[in-house]
Structure 1
Amino acid sequence: MREQETPPSPAVCETHRAPDASRVLPAASPFVGRRSGVARMRAAKLALLVILVLALALGLWRPWSRSGGVAPSEAAADAPVPVHVAKVVDQDMPVVLTALGSVTPLTTVTVKTQLAGTLQSVFFREGQSVKQSDVLAQIDPRPYELSLANAEGVYAKNVALLDEARVNLTRYRTLLAAHAIAAQQFDAQMSLVKQYEGQVKSDAANVGTFKLDLKYARITAPVSGRLGMRQVDPGNYVTPTDPNGIVVITQLQPISVVFTTAEDNVSGIVKRMATGARLTTEVYDRDNSTLLETGYLETIDNQVDAATGTVKLRAVFSNAQQTLFPNQFVNARLLVDTVRHALVVPESAVQDGVSGPFVYVVKPDQTVMVRAVKVGTVDHHIASIPAGLALGELVVTDGADRLRAGAKVVLPSPADAH
């Protein structure tokens, strides 16, 4: 028996209808976008591959080499380099030793009282320049005046007693000659005279001591120089044991500069001084730009500092304008000798290489060559060259950092070759 067919439900039949455009497009849009993205990626890869192939072909082809041209980097390297040059000249070259030094006074004195007493008066101003023996202060002299008066009284008394003893001794000598007195009495009188003579000498010394105390009560400058800050005010009781004293005097004219040099330089300095030569010494400020004073070397220390391998030297300067001040740091330049007819070039021409110093020498065809040199004394940016250069040769002073051996150079103007 055939089953009876059931008609499709309304819902099923609806799916077989012609789809509405508004319903189909939204359902199909994701698939369409995915396909277009894949297509774009493939096109980008293909374009990149084509670019790489073209770049490789261009590199192998190198049209500039076929046409006889030069690559931009090579062309720049072979281009002439503008430089400044200087001639090797003949001139006298000073042999100068340079060192950092310190201004050191020849004399620094702490003025102290030699008496104990009240500081009665002060006659100076801080920072004042004084001369030797100028009065600086006064200690109360009254106690020492009284002591002097007492000593003078004792002295006068004993002088009178001595005179009387001497008169009696003369009488006793006459009586002894007449056998009127015993010799023992004469000897006793002679001994008494000698005692009084000793006492009078002692009293005279006491008088001199108290006179000296009165002199010491007026405190004077032991040396000429400049006064520092006052260490004690009037009215204070001062003693010789006060550590700070009353004031410090520093001698400024003349003044010295102490500096050091390597022990290898000592023999040359000693030889020059042994000939009687006065070695000129200049001192510059800390920037080494301003000349402060010119003097001469006075002495060399008597031993080498084992820790540093250096020797101390002292140069003396008149310091008329007081440009040098105690404990000031300066740059000292000691002229040891002068080399006659040395070959010199500007210091900027000397380059430092792995094998040592060298210069770029300009040849007649305006190319450069590297020349190893030996550098001697350097002074004021001028270097002496004992070996390696000939008189009149041109050396590069500016622009050497862009050069190599055989490079072409160009001079801006004839004035640059000086």
Structure 2
Amino acid sequence: MALMNVMTAFRTLRRWGRHAVAASAVVPALALCACSPKEQKPTVKPPVPVVLAKVERKTIPVQIKAIGNVEPYATVAVKAQVSGEVVNVHFTEGQDVKKGDLLFAIDPRTYAAALKKAEANLSRNLVQARNARQDAERYAQLLTEGIVTQEQYEQYRTKAEAFAADVAADRAAVENAKVELSYCTIRSPLSGRTGNLAVHAGNIVKANENPPLVTINQITPVYVTFAIPEKDLAEIKHRLASGRLAVEAIIPNDQGPAEQGTISFLDNAVDAATGTIKLKGIFENKGRRLWPGQFVNVVVTLASRADAVVVPSQALQTGQSGPYLFVVKADTSVEVRPVTPGITHEGLTVIEQGVAPGETVVTDGQMRLTPNAKVTEKRPGGAGVSPPEPSKRP
């Protein structure tokens, strides 16, 4: 019995112990809830450092840009017109030559002999023709006196005319021999620069054989050929009808100024495959900066647009709704402003509609911006310009 009482007392104490542990766990939790601070306010985002620029008014040229290819003003492939041995070359490849300069000498002996033979045949036939003419004149007199018959006279007259024809043929043969002999000295047909020399002294050449002996290109002046879109044809025709149309050729990776020229040729048809039309500009090329076969950037200035509203081209962004700008408001926050861009020139883009001169736009740092975000202008070193601290009175 005593043992039963002890067991009952032990179970009672055990239940009281569990309730005490639970109570001890609840008390600290209530204390933490009582001591927790009030709900915190959301933190204010700092201004985003950006690069800013003012919207301005400027005069912007209206231009057409294209890729052009330099072509020689004239090019001549020099070939031999007679066959023979090249006995002398009077220039070095890559040399500048003038019109009429001696280039090649071909062995002239065969052609000189042919000329002498033609001249000898002419001399012989001249004598025979003179005698035949005299006989014909004498028989004409005898015919009038009735001494000879008409048939006899006709024989001598025909003989005289035949010799006269032989003389004419001999004269032509002499002229042909002189021409062929002159072909033994090959002279430059134009002023220009020689190219690769295909034959040297001692080689045998044939008349009109390929490849040419040398090719000469005239590079002062020079042409630049390029193509423009069909949509610009009407404006080009209008400008050409009004007078000379200037064109510039800019040499890539060349720090020098652009070469100045004028449009000299407009093709007579639009290329249906590409929708472009071919033009040529002529350039004096006094400094020989333009070289045949070279590619250049071509700029045709059609007109100038005064008081155009412009922004730096890097300020323009493109979204799903089209082009837009981040415009800074008076409270240094930004708004997204849809705009209508126009032509570009030297890093500036004309804005047809959307902003006004004097407004401020973001040109760098747009990736971190959202509508109504605050901005601060970057220092030249890259840090943002902090707002001035309020003055403190003593």
- Fold match (TM-score > 0.5): yes
Contact preservation (8 Å) 2:250, 2:296: yes
Aligned to 1:410: 376
Shift of 1:205: 0.8
Per the alignment, do residues 236 and 67 of structure 1 end up closer, same or farther by CA in structure 2, a change over 3 Å counting? closer
Q: Distance in 2 between matches of 1:345 and 1:247?
A: 55
Higher strand share: 2
Aligned to 1:226: 193
Contact preservation (8 Å) 1:282, 1:334: no
Is the counterpart of residue 111 in structure 1 residue 78 in structure 2?
yes
Contact preservation (8 Å) 1:282, 1:291: no
Note the residue ranges of structure 1 that are not aligned, 5 or more in a row.
1-49
Shift of 1:98: 2.0
Is the counterpart of residue 338 in structure 1 residue 304 in structure 2?
yes
Contact preservation (8 Å) 2:244, 2:262: no
Q: Distance in 2 between matches of 1:62 and 1:238?
A: 108
Aligned to 1:20: none
Shift of 1:344: 1.9
Q: Distance in 2 between matches of 1:248 and 1:374?
A: 53
Tell me which of 193, 203, 207 is aligned to 2:170.
203
Aligned to 1:158: 125
Worse-matched range after superposition: 222-231 or 204-213: 222-231
Larger radius of gyration: 1
Is the counterpart of residue 389 in structure 1 residue 355 in structure 2?
yes
Aligned to 2:106: 139
Aligned to 1:377: 343
TM-score normalised by structure 2 residue count: 0.81
**C-alpha RMSD of the superposition:** 2.7
Tell me which of 39, 42, 64 is aligned to 1:66.
39
Contact preservation (8 Å) 1:292, 1:323: no
Aligned to 1:33: none
Aligned to 2:152: 185
Contact preservation (8 Å) 1:273, 1:279: no
Aligned to 1:320: 286
Aligned to 2:97: 130
Deviations 1:46-93 (A, max 9, x none): xxxx9xxx9xx99xx995x7354x33xxx33xx223333333322221
Q: Which amino acid aligns with 1:275?
A: S
Deviations 1:16-48 (A, max 9, x none): xxxxxxxxxxxxxxxxxxxxxxxxxxxxxxxxx
Higher helix share: 1
Tell me which of 206, 230, 238 is aligned to 1:263.
230
Aligned length: 350
% same residue: 37
Tell me which of 163, 167, 170 is aligned to 2:134.
167
Contact preservation (8 Å) 1:126, 1:227: yes
Aligned to 2:295: 329
Per the alignment, do residues 62 and 123 of structure 1 end up closer, same or farther by CA in structure 2, a change over 3 Å counting? farther
Worse-matched range after superposition: 392-401 or 344-353: 392-401
Q: Secondary structure at the match of 2:353?
A: coil
Q: Secondary structure at the match of 2:220?
A: coil
Q: Secondary structure at the match of 1:252?
A: strand
Shift of 1:149: 0.4
Shift of 1:282: 2.4
Contact preservation (8 Å) 2:75, 2:217: yes
Deviations 1:290-333 (A, max 9, x none): 54522222223333333333333222222211112222222222
Is the counterpart of residue 350 in structure 1 residue 323 in structure 2?
no
Deviations 1:374-396 (A, max 9, x none): 22211211212222222333222
Q: Distance in 2 between matches of 1:243 and 1:382?
A: 54
Instruction: Write out aligned runs for 1:273-292 (5 A).
Output: 273-285=240-252, 287=253, 291-292=257-258
Q: Which amino acid aligns with 2:164?
A: E
Q: Distance in 2 between matches of 1:128 and 1:224?
A: 11
